[in-house]
Amino acid sequence: MLFRELNRGKCKTYLIACEETRRAALVDPLKEKLERYIAMLAYHGLRLEAVIDTHTHADHRTASFDLRELVGASAIMHRRAPAPHIDRHVDDGDTIAVGNVPLRVLATPGHTPDGISLVCPGCVLTGDTLMIRGTGRSDFAGGDPGAQYDAIFGKLFRLPDETLVFPAHDYRGNTSSTIGDEKRSNPRLAGRSREAYMDLMNNLGLPLPDKIQECLQPNETALEDDRLRFPTLAELNKVRQRAPREVQTDLGSAAAPLVLDVREPDEFDGELGHIPGAVLIPLQDLPGRAAEIEIHKERPVVVVCRAGVRSTTAAAILTGLGFEHVSNLKGGMLDWCDQGLGVERRPHEDG
């Protein structure tokens, strides 16, 4: 296995390659370094098969969507990842093969709901779940310090003590650690109960990173900001969130809402299906096509996507366009399907 960190900065990108087959994967690539990665792969005669984001990043733009387009690598993320154009959704226990190198996926949420760690031969990539002498903050939307504690103690700390730890970030210039070191010396974790950890994480009082929405929304939507004017955080926070069961009840009532699905067409007819009667307008087309649903301006509209993240952006855009009763399906089609609510799938044309 060929293994190296490519950025030598605070954000870490890892190259994992199989020396026998010359197949490679990049983990957490940065958009600003796209050209450098492509040149490096060519220089080493490596074929990029997979681009893996350990979670939806809030502090930098991912290069995964560009690498997918430019070199045909498969984009891989956890099934809870909100973005479109993910070729493979993985979950706990799955294996990603990079040539003859197996990467075992651990679902390690807490920093975000879609956090994964990758167990490689001799080391583990821990994303922003476990960092060297620290842990990733859990106060962003969808963060959960209890889940993070469980992922660290229940999964990462069960790996052999000598396993090397490679996080997605390091702000203090650390370059290496092991699971054993972190068990003994991580000040947020060593000797701390689950309750004490939650208390600590809920009271860190960290400021939001600069430009969080400028990074987060493009990563969540796979859209460039020249395609869409992304809503502000204040506009997003105003969007009314509704639970799947409430929406289901409303759909059976006399004042049934319009269901607007803003995913891509392949997702609309994909494994999760769509809510019967839903109208499809992909997020990127919404500003140009909102006139098509203009007649519903005074009617309740429920916006839907995969994880409820892109649809929150869409709901804020519609509210800005004068739609009066817009709400968002919380947790998207993932939660809708997990709760066993009805979906429709177009019959596939076989043969």
Q: With respect to Fe ion, which residue has the nearer C-beta, 128 or 261?
A: 128
How far apart are the C-alpha atoms of 125 and 129, rounded to whole Å? 10
Q: With respect to Fe ion, which residue has the nearer C-beta, 114 or 128?
A: 128
Q: With respect to Fe ion, which residue has the nearer C-beta, 215 or 318?
A: 215
At closest approach, how far in Å is the CB of 100 from Fe ion?
Answer: 30
Q: With respect to Fe ion, which residue has the nearer C-beta, 126 or 178?
A: 126
At closest approach, how far in Å is the CB of 240 from Fe ion?
Answer: 27
CA dihedral over 6, 93, 59, 225, signed as positive or negative: positive
How far apart are the C-alpha atoms of 301 and 164, rounded to whole Å? 49
At closest approach, how far in Å is the CB of 59 from Fe ion?
Answer: 6
The DSSP letter of residue 262 is -
- Which residue is closest to Fe ion by CB? 128
At closest approach, how far in Å is the CB of 64 from Fe ion?
Answer: 14
Beta strands in the chain (DSSP E): 2-5, 14-17, 23-27, 47-52, 74-78, 88-90, 95-98, 101-107, 116-120, 123-127, 130-131, 134-135, 164-167, 240-242, 258-261, 279-280, 300-304, 325-329
At closest approach, how far in Å is the CB of 309 from Fe ion?
Answer: 15
Contacts of 290 (CB under 8 A, 6+ apart): 281, 317, 318, 321, 323
Q: With respect to Fe ion, which residue has the nearer C-beta, 66 or 128?
A: 128
The DSSP letter of residue 130 is E
At closest approach, how far in Å is the CB of 115 from Fe ion?
Answer: 8
How far apart are the C-alpha atoms of 75 and 12, rounded to whole Å? 18
Q: With respect to Fe ion, which residue has the nearer C-beta, 57 or 306?
A: 57
54, amino acid identity: T
Length of the chain: 351
Q: How far is CA 269 from CA 73, 199, 212, 229, in A?
A: 23, 43, 32, 27
Query: Under a CB-based contact definition with an 8 Å cutoff, are residues 40 and 200 in contact?
Result: no
How far apart are the C-alpha atoms of 49 and 97, rounded to whole Å? 10
At closest approach, how far in Å is the CB of 55 from Fe ion?
Answer: 6
- Residue 303's DSSP bridge partners are 260, 328
Q: With respect to Fe ion, which residue has the nearer C-beta, 140 or 248?
A: 140
What is the number of other CB atoms lying within 10 angstroms of the CB of residue 31?
16
How far apart are the C-alpha atoms of 173 and 170, rounded to whole Å? 6
At closest approach, how far in Å is the CB of 28 from Fe ion?
Answer: 9
At closest approach, how far in Å is the CB of 136 from Fe ion?
Answer: 6
Q: With respect to Fe ion, which residue has the nearer C-beta, 112 or 313?
A: 112
Binding site for Fe ion (CB under 5 A): 57, 128
The DSSP letter of residue 30 is B
Q: With respect to Fe ion, which residue has the nearer C-beta, 140 or 157?
A: 140
